Structure 1
Amino acid sequence: MKLRMNHREANPAGFQSLLKLEESAKKMGLDPILYELIKIRASQINGCSFCVDMHTSDLRNMGETEQRLNLIVVWRDAPIFTEKERAVLALTEAVTLISEAGVPQDVYDEVRRHFSESEFVALIITINAINCWNRIAISTGMYPGCFDI
């Protein structure tokens, strides 16, 4: 594999603007585990190996089990995720694949059962941030370890 370009160096202002979005999302009060579940699930859907690797490592470092990490991709069939986590994963999928069906009312209703309006906005900002990172990583050819050289 070959990195097409280092987007950080090619456009530092663009990179900084995304970092600001990321920093803002992190400060919106979401549970760190939910935050990382969003990052991993969106990255799985988008096929971003760089981000899947980074965020599974982050969640592992927070004490997450290998079983839960392995089952994120099939969360609907794995009873080890809480109702709240399931709601977040469903919303992550809906927003990531928004052109397919929008955000169905039942997904919205389930998320709102667990989260306030402010928290809902924090969730969708977090989902949008990782989708942006995924698209940059994939477009520029990023892969796990590409900046370790």
Structure 2
Amino acid sequence: MTIVNLSKQHPELYQDVVALNKNADQALIRAGLDPLLGELVKIRVSQLNGCAFCLRMHVRDATARGETADRLAVVAAWWESQYFTEQEQAALALAEDVTRLPVPEPRGWDNGSLNEEQVSAISWLAIVMNTWNRLAIRSHYPVAP
């Protein structure tokens, strides 16, 4: 199988994704959500997609923003811990819904802690993160110690 670095093959498309990412991050802030919550969403989406490159990047980014090792250790099983606020739980569940595209059913994330603007911002952030994961995985971005 031929491995192609998609960002180098079509750099203009890569720059479009960079711009989309920037806009999604700004929408999160305009919606009144903490950028650290955005990092948690990016981590969870990357866990679901199995993207080592993005996981390493966003765990480092979250740590730089003050996230604790304990909370990072349990993001993959956030629903079983008491580390996350109601709003963080809603955002993580929503990001999972966006990533997995489930058959419509009652929304477990819809606990009233996110307003419409925040639901939109988290949804866009998860969509963008799914794009980055697919780009990194398909391009086989290196992840070495």
* TM-score, structure 2 normalization: 0.89
- 1-structure distance, mates of 2:38, 2:138: 23
Match of 1:37 in 2: 40
Match of 1:53 in 2: 56
- Asked if the contact 2:46/2:133 (under 8 Å) is kept, the reply is yes
- Asked if the contact 1:43/1:49 (under 8 Å) is kept, the reply is yes
**Aligned residues between the structures:** 140
Q: Deviations over 1:44-75 (max 9, x none)?
A: 00000000000000001111111111110111
- Asked if the contact 2:93/2:109 (under 8 Å) is kept, the reply is no
- 2-structure distance, mates of 1:109, 1:8: 36
Moved more, 23-32 or 34-43: 23-32
Match of 1:67 in 2: 70
- 2-structure distance, mates of 1:73, 1:7: 28
Match of 1:86 in 2: 89
Which amino acid in 1 is paired with 2:140?
A: G
- Asked if the contact 1:42/1:131 (under 8 Å) is kept, the reply is yes
Match of 1:109 in 2: 110
- 2-structure distance, mates of 1:106, 1:94: 8
- 1-structure distance, mates of 2:142, 2:74: 22
Match of 1:17 in 2: 16
Match of 1:27 in 2: 26
Deviation (angstroms), 1:10: 1.3
- 2-structure distance, mates of 1:140, 1:90: 28
Gapped regions of structure 1 (runs ≥ 5): none
Residue 77, structure 1, aligned to residue 113, structure 2:
no
* Alignment RMSD: 1.8
Match of 2:129 in 1: 130
